[in-house]
Amino acid sequence: MSNSTEPGNWDGPWYRVYTEQFEAAFLPNADEDLEAVDNVDVFVDLKDGSRWSATVITLAQVEILMNRWATAGETQGGRYFWCSDGLIVRDPGISNMTQVLAGLIENGEFTRILDRLEDA
């Protein structure tokens, strides 16, 4: 992939990652291993000034949630998963999620998948 991810840094509760094409602000739990993150909100600022958001979640975490909801009797017994701004990825970790975001920009799918936020 042509976009290398620079190491991120903490900014309060946000973990910010900078690439050539965007800045991503992830909101993991404070004590969470960043390469094990499997369900996280992210806000992405593109170089053109537009802002975007998504909830990035792994396929494995979706299965865990659906099984939990089946036991709890939610979502019709765990028969479906729905998330308004969801992006399901195969592998966990902030670095993997950043690579997915960069790939979505490269292949032109980014603006179809993430939710655009109102301009400030």
Is it the case that residue 84 has pLDDT exceeding 90? no
Q: How many domains does the chain have?
A: 1
Is it the case that residue 17 has pLDDT exceeding 80? yes
Domain contains 50: yes
Tokens 């998948």 belong to residue = 113
Other CB atoms within 10 A of residue 105 CB: 19
Mean confidence (pLDDT) of the chain? 92
Domain contains 76: yes
Domain limits for position 63 = 9-116
Residues 6+ apart with CB under 8 A from 96: 35, 89
Distances (CA, A) of 4 to 74, 85, 95, 96, 100: 41, 25, 10, 11, 12
Long-range contacts (CB closer than 8 Å, 24 or more residues apart) made by 62-65? 62/88
**What would the pLDDT profile of 55-73 be if each residue is shown by its tens digit?**
999 999 999 999 999 999 9
Domain contains 73: yes
pLDDT (average), residues 88-103: 97
